[in-house]
């Protein structure tokens, strides 16, 4: 296998990623104006935070882009164990922070850190190394490895992250040539388990019900979905124009995070959102090309896992925005407001860029 070292990184993924971040900052500035003024008395409260995180993520990504990606193969196991420990520590009083009825954060004195973000990357590193080995372990053994962190994430509870992680690992299995029947069986098993989980929690059940008919209870259970429909409808073909969203006046919940694409659809219309989806698809396609052209199997799976992490987040969010998937609280990659997600994704982009330096050109 000819190894060709590129001096430069792949600009065709870096620039779209930066455009997505820039677009996100613009939308956050526009949308959060109202909420920031009302809640914090500072018009640019959200923008300032997101900018800070983008800076931190940028530095981290830059560092990672210079670390040979085989580093992650070598340390995949210890990182995986570190992530498991962090996921357990969430439940330790004094270290773990409980908020909004969930235990998702660790108090690291300087910053509050979400172990699940570390776990996402750790799982990708670990599974990429597992499946790229010549004599890889059978699927059921891998499943056991997956189940431990998955259970911890579900226990926080953080359902959407669990789904994300599971789907990303499933993609890696799929690409590694595992038996389709086994994967489909596991998928069905996962769906059944999800359905049981959903029906066990009234909170998730409400969100599910809202999905199937946004008009069933506009003032109650289906409020969010109904407001999403109104937001999209207000956009029409061409949108209301930049800054002219009306649904951002606190009608639409989670305006800067989960619902940011819906507000973009209101301001830029269907044509705008079609361009946005096409642009995102192009970006994802370029990312997968890196996976396809990576120098070795580990690089391929690592790139595919990172791409999967980005694309599955994006699709779950788009699906929820278009009201065909349940509202699980998934931010749109690079665009939505939120430090943990942005920093993790930018760090992952750094790794992806490093892989891109060793691309094989067919």
Q: Which is nearer to other proteins, 103 or 293 (CB)?
A: 293
- Position 311 contacts other proteins (CB under 8 A): yes
CA dist 225 and 229 (Å) reads 6
- Shortest Cβ 136–other proteins spacing (Å): 13
- Position 236 contacts other proteins (CB under 8 A): yes
- Residue spans of alpha helices (H) in the chain: 11-40, 45-66, 70-74, 76-89, 115-132, 139-155, 159-175, 180-200, 202-212, 223-235, 260-293, 297-321, 339-356
- Name the phi and psi angles at 30, rounded to 5: -70, -50
3-state secondary structure of 251: coil
Name which position in 8, 177, 181, 361 contacts other proteins (CB under 8 A): 177
- Position 16 contacts other proteins (CB under 8 A): no
- Shortest Cβ 315–other proteins spacing (Å): 6
- Position 247 contacts other proteins (CB under 8 A): yes
CA angle 287, 289, 293 (to 5 degrees): 125
CA dist 341 and 278 (Å) reads 22
- Position 259 contacts other proteins (CB under 8 A): no
- Position 109 contacts other proteins (CB under 8 A): no
CA distances, 48 to each of 25, 35, 54, 172, 189 (Å): 9, 14, 10, 36, 43
Site string for other proteins, 36-75 (x = CB under 8 A): ----------------------------------------
Name which position in 62, 82, 209, 277 contacts other proteins (CB under 8 A): 277
Q: Which is nearer to other proteins, 58 or 305 (CB)?
A: 305
- Position 361 contacts other proteins (CB under 8 A): no
CA dist 351 and 19 (Å) reads 19
Q: What is the binding site for other proteins (CB under 8 A)?
A: 34, 171, 174-177, 229-237, 246-247, 249-251, 265, 269-270, 273-274, 277, 280-281, 284-285, 288, 291-292, 297, 300-301, 304, 311, 315, 318-319, 322-324
């Amino acid at each position: 296998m000819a190894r060709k070292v590129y001096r430069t990184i792949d600009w065709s993924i870096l620039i779209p990623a930066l455009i997505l971040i820039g677009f996100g900052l613009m939308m956050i500035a526009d949308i959060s104006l109202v909420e920031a003024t009302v809640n914090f008395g500072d018009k640019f409260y959200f923008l300032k935070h997101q900018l800070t995180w983008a800076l931190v993520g940028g530095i981290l990504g830059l560092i990672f882009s210079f670390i040979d990606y085989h580093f992650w193969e070598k340390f995949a196991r210890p990182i995986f164990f570190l992530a498991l420990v962090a996921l357990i520590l969430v439940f330790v009083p004094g270290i773990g922070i409980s908020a909004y009825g969930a235990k998702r954060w660790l108090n690291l004195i300087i910053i509050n850190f979400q172990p699940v973000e570390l776990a996402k990357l750790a799982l990708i590193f670990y599974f990429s190394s597992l499946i790229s080995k010549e004599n890889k372990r059978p699927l059921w053994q891998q499943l056991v490895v997956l189940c431990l962190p998955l259970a911890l994430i579900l226990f926080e509870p953080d359902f959407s992250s669990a789904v994300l992680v599971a789907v990303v690992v499933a993609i890696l299995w799929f690409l590694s040539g595992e038996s389709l029947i086994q994967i489909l069986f596991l998928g069905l098993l996962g769906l059944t388990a999800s359905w049981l989980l959903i029906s066990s929690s009234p909170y998730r059940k409400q969100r599910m019900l809202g999905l199937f008919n946004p008009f069933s209870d506009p003032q109650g259970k289906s409020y969010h979905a109904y407001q999403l429909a109104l937001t999209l409808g207000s956009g029409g073909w061409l949108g209301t124009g930049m800054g002219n969203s009306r649904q951002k006046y606190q009608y639409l919940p989670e305006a800067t995070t989960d619902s940011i694409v819906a507000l973009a659809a209101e301001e830029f219309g269907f044509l705008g959102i079609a361009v946005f989806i096409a642009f995102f698809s192009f970006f994802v396609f370029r990312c997968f090309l890196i996976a396809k052209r990576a120098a070795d199997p580990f690089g391929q799976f690592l790139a595919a896992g990172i791409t999967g992490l980005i694309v599955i987040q994006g699709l779950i969010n788009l699906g929820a925005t278009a009201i065909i998937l349940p509202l699980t609280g998934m931010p749109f990659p690079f665009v939505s407001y939120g430090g943990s997600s942005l920093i993790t994704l930018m760090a992952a982009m750094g790794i992806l860029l490093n892989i891109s330096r060793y691309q094989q050109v067919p």
